[in-house]
């Protein structure tokens, strides 16, 4: 990773963030990666943003194809683990809403004055995550309508990458000595890891069961 001046990260990390110093003379070691919560949040946020574009592009393209070929169906085909996936997706929406609130509250408590620069990395990734979770829920519903199980690979890849992001997040929280169940941020990451993990496994199960038919 080429060194990026810390000034270019101020809008995301916060003007007074201690993480800014870690971007100067950056190295791929624990201190500069796991010790940099801003960088970890940027990684997770980039995953959400990337798949926001992919989901919207796929919905537009596949919807256009279905409309052109008139192959859409009003009957919804329920995949295996349908109920479990829906419960997890609803749970994720609730979790992301809680994470946004926790991030904003942590940001305000850290700075005290509303005129100061804020640490948007504490809540922006969760805002994008909430939007993507909402769209992925619609995506799964439409995939069941289209019966196009192969494009569930997109959902599987998304949840798989988010799992890696949350695993790094947990490792980062442990590294900076706030890896405890008494810390709300740590608990939220644990729940994200579990719910995204269940959806990921369910997607692989659905794809495998449909291919084997």
Convert the pLDDT of each residue in 81-131 to its tens digit. 889 999 999 999 999 999 999 999 988 876 555 445 678 999 999 999 999
What's the pLDDT tens digit per position in 186-195? 999 999 999 9
Would residue 171 count as lying in a domain? yes
Would residue 1 count as lying in a domain? no
pLDDT at 77: 74
Would residue 32 count as lying in a domain? yes
CA 119 to chain centre: 18
Would residue 51 count as lying in a domain? yes
Would residue 152 count as lying in a domain? yes
**What residues make up the domain containing 180?**
6-70+80-211
Distance set, CA 55 to CA 6, 128, 140, 154 (Å):
32, 13, 10, 8
Would residue 187 count as lying in a domain? yes
Q: Per the structure block, which two tokens stand in for 50?
A: 């990337």
Domain tally, the chain: 1
Would residue 151 count as lying in a domain? yes
Would residue 75 count as lying in a domain? no
Cα angle, residue 105 at apex, residues 188 and 166 outer, rounded to 5°: 25
Other C-beta atoms lying within 10 Å of the C-beta of residue 166: 23
Task: Give the pLDDT of the chain (213 residues) as one tens digit per residue.
Answer: 555 667 788 888 888 788 888 888 788 888 889 999 999 999 999 999 999 999 999 888 876 666 655 555 556 678 888 899 999 999 999 999 999 999 999 888 765 554 456 789 999 999 999 999 999 999 998 888 877 777 899 999 999 999 999 999 999 999 999 988 999 999 999 999 999 999 999 999 999 888 876
Q: What are phi and psi of 123, to 5 degrees?
A: -140, -25
CA–CA distance, 165 with 180 (Å, rounded to integer) = 18
25 φψ region: left (φ > 0), alpha (ψ -120 to 50), beta (else): left
């Amino acid at each position: 990773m080429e060194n990026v001046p810390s000034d270019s990260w101020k809008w995301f990390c916060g003007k007074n963030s201690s993480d800014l110093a870690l971007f100067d003379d950056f190295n791929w070691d624990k201190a500069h990666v796991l010790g940099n919560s801003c960088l970890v949040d940027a990684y997770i946020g980039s995953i959400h943003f990337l798949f926001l574009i992919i989901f919207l592009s796929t919905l537009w393209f596949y919807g256009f194809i279905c409309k052109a070929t008139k192959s859409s169906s009003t009957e919804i085909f329920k995949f295996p683990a349908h109920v479990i996936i829906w419960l997890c997706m609803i749970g994720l929406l609730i979790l992301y809403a809680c994470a946004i609130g926790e991030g904003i509250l942590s940001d305000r408590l850290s700075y005290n004055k509303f005129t100061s620069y804020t640490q948007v990395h504490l809540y922006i990734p969760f805002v994008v995550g909430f939007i993507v979770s909402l769209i992925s829920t619609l995506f799964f519903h439409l995939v069941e309508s289209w019966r196009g199980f192969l494009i569930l690979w997109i959902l599987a890849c998304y949840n798989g990458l988010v799992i890696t992001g949350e695993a790094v997040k947990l490792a980062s929280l442990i590294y900076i000595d706030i890896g405890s169940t008494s810390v709300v941020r740590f608990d939220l990451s644990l729940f994200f890891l579990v719910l995204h993990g269940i959806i990921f496994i369910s997607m692989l199960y659905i794809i495998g069961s449909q291919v084997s038919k």
